[in-house]
Amino acid sequence: MSGIRLMLRLLAIQRVLIKYGLDEFVWATHLLRPVGWLRRMLPRSASSNKPLGIRIRLALEELGPIFVKFGQAVSTRGDLLPLEVALELSKLQDQVPPFDSGIAVELLETAFGSRVDEIFAAFEREPLAAASVAQVHSAKLATGESVVVKILRPGVRDAIDRDLEVLYAVARLAERYWDEGPRLKPVEVVGEFEKTLGRELDLLREAANAAQLRRNFEGSEQLYVPEIYWDYCRSNVLTMERVSGVPISDIETLKARGTNIVRLAENGVEIFFRQVFDHNFFHADMHPGNIFVDIEDPDNPRYVAVDFGIVGSLSTRDQHYLAGNFLAFFKRDYRRVAKLHVDSGWVPADTRVDELEAAVRAVCEPIFNKPLKDISFGLVLLRLFETARQFHMEVQPQLVLLQKTLLNIEGLGRQLYPELDLWKTAKPFLEEWMRKRTNPITHIEELLKSWPEISEDLLLLPEIAHRVLRRLVDEDAANAKGSHGSAVRTGRRHPVAATTVAGPTLLIAAVLWLGLDVAPAWPGWVAAVTGLVATIWPR
């Protein structure tokens, strides 16, 4: 983008910001600072009396679809934005006119190298829905299956690149001139948005996400994921099974059809925790527009998920410490919460546990004024992260994505059933998961899964042990030469070198032998006892 075009776009953005009373930043920029005195002479906008979150949302809607998408992404950063602003931005919905159906047909024919009537038995020209990045058409395969076809907008990548350049320019100005800029890190936020949007523009990646989620819930009575038709997918085209159901937000219809609302709400909580802890792969964009309900059996309603552009996962370490934090929090064991933050590496290792414990207690204790059923898991995470940030916690994107998803699940669940007690559903699940994680058998099973990699490393163990032993013996011999020359001359070797390596090596070998259940077992036990004695024997 040329400098003139960028300047004109920035001025247009500033006009919109002033219109919605967001001028505290505009007048601080280097573009208008020399004439900042004019601010006092201009009439105030009628919108300037509205709450900040509403003004930001309205401004983003007027600035266009990419800015709306950015607002949606920023709404997940509850760790950076005020809560009321984040919640308001989460209401943003794309209202974008569809692009011409003739162009859609042309894009399909280019992608597949065939005429559209050769690709599909039927293709509906009128789109079912349109968004800022893609639009969706209904179609039918030659084999008779009803499908939906998602097609990227033409030129969307170029348009996004242009608007990203503008967003970066605005973010740099904000970081330099806005008082809150250094804390909110707008350039970093735009960078995260760019990565997220890049993933959403690859429809093959979205198809892979859907296929993985479908495998994870194969045969589930709680969640259904549409089938992906890979022969009809390209980087800019996604074809999947057409599903039907009642939008999750249409509570009146759900109730009128006799849906078991309590079960539906509780299933939503269980689905979330199962995705995060059992599968370690969670749908991270579960807002009402992406969730439907299959009520063929109203007493056993089933969620139907669509739109898989954003998914998340956690490291095993994060899973463990997250579950531990939840359990410790609801037991009011604030020292345990603080220690878990340090042990997990979420805060620097030199953080004083007692100081973090006091800060966590001060923030979290008032939450327990409410009944447990009224406590928000998402807000608990938010409060913990806000507190830990005072101790230089670097919030990782996957944890923020998890927090946003949890807030969505809570919002949906309590919209369905205001008395929903998330803790009642989550506690037994988390306790059982922690029991499994700390069970020695689980560790052995993980060891066996990793055996192919371990076996390759073990082949190198004799050579490594020989080299280490040789080096240690040579070092001991050199040291002994200076102070105990007679010992060297008689050929005696220092015992420390051998036991330093031999003990732990024997212990490792014993664990592997016993873990693999190799018969006979006695060599493993002999190696274990010998290794233990060699390791702890006084030197």
Which of helix, strand or coil describes residue 456? helix
Residues contacting residue 151 through CB under 8 Å, at least 6 positions apart: 104, 107, 108, 134, 135, 136, 137, 236, 237
Nearest by Cα to 323 from 264, 440, 402: 402
Active site amino acids: 285
Is there a contact between 413 and 293 (Cβ–Cβ < 8 Å)?
Answer: no
Chain centroid to CA 293: 24
Residues contacting residue 508 through CB under 8 Å, at least 6 positions apart: 531
- For residue 75, give both structure tokens: 């709404």
- Could you give the CA distance from residue 244 to residue 360 in angstroms, rounded to a whole number? 45
The CA radius of gyration of the chain, in Å to the nearest whole number, is: 30
- Could you give the CA distance from residue 411 to residue 405 in angstroms, rounded to a whole number? 10
| β pairing state of 302-305 and 223-224 | parallel
- DSSP code at position 260: -
- For residue 316, give both structure tokens: 């095993």
Is there a contact between 314 and 281 (Cβ–Cβ < 8 Å)?
Answer: no
Is the bond leading into 520 cis (omega within 30 degrees of zero)? yes
**Three-state SS string across 349-364, please?**
CCCCHHHHHHHHHHHH
Is there a contact between 38 and 65 (Cβ–Cβ < 8 Å)?
Answer: no
Is there a contact between 377 and 323 (Cβ–Cβ < 8 Å)?
Answer: no
- For residue 482, give both structure tokens: 């200076």
Nearest by Cα to 382 from 370, 369, 395: 395
